[in-house]
Structure 1
């Protein structure tokens, strides 16, 4: 039997040791993270995408991601630890759209009142949820943007195809009209040529059909002594 290389033996032993030393809490934590990721995904779709327009939903997701990333980048900055629901931008992106405020709460923000002003303040105990929620937001935004890009490209291709089809119809119409005009021109030229080569008409003019004038010879009907042909000199 072939012996395994020492490096493989060491690696296998290390893996086995990790498996033995792995606490039950690690499995529980992984299962919890999986359920949390699935919960965040459901909050996005159908939670946010279904009741809102795609553009509105995408804008809200981006606002949530900015809030989460700011807090992850500067967790001790009080400015990023809370937001006011009365702020115009927050109101338009998180309060008015359906499902978005629920996502902020799932990230770890809770409603509080400070100096008679409403706020949503982050609870540091939910930092793990904040990490998971931010990751799911990035995933959803990337997926939606790629989907919208494909849709935009598909619509552009359909529009170009429709324009090309319309142009082909127009060209076919113009070509057909040009063909008919050329055919009519040739037919007219053929008729003109036929009339030009046709023989003269057999119809006789009135001048040709009239009788020749009668010529009266001098001296007929009267005598040389009389200028009036009706007068008889013997009478």
Structure 2
């Protein structure tokens, strides 16, 4: 667990990151990691905050198992309200089966399926999240999945929670792998859209945080994808 921006803690669990946003009313969790890792998430939060009962909201970026694997268990443990986009919610709740690429099917052989979890609040477009998270706005960024969402926190020059709309490596921002992307054209359009926002720091589901006018790295990626 490390602080990557003002009041934002990053927990790296293997190849995936999840993030805690500390607010006056409790902790907002962005994504939940792989199945079976929820006890580690709660333990890390306990060590950082002194309690495991202060997660008030869980913001889901998308339906993939490495991002919703601990959702059901963490919701039970905390009573947090879960927010996700309406297009990904059926997979998260178990009402629909995910559409998997060949690479994802192979990965699914190594990791158990996520437990279905309820979604309390559905996102249908851009705007403030529908539960009290001060300064947090949702942006529909489809492509990686149909209902992928990125979140922008109005704090310290702006902090973008990218999810898998993009990744990072070596201080630069890169596109997510084609083999893991549902709609490549939509994914590129989402990167271009994020490049029009204002933020100083970007954090990712995969890769290290980028600090210092991070939006410039998104603009560079958008230019490369034209």
Flag whether TM exceeds 0.5 (same fold). Answer: no
More strand by share: 2
More helix by share: 1
TM-score normalised to structure 2 length: 0.21
The structure whose Rg is larger is: 1
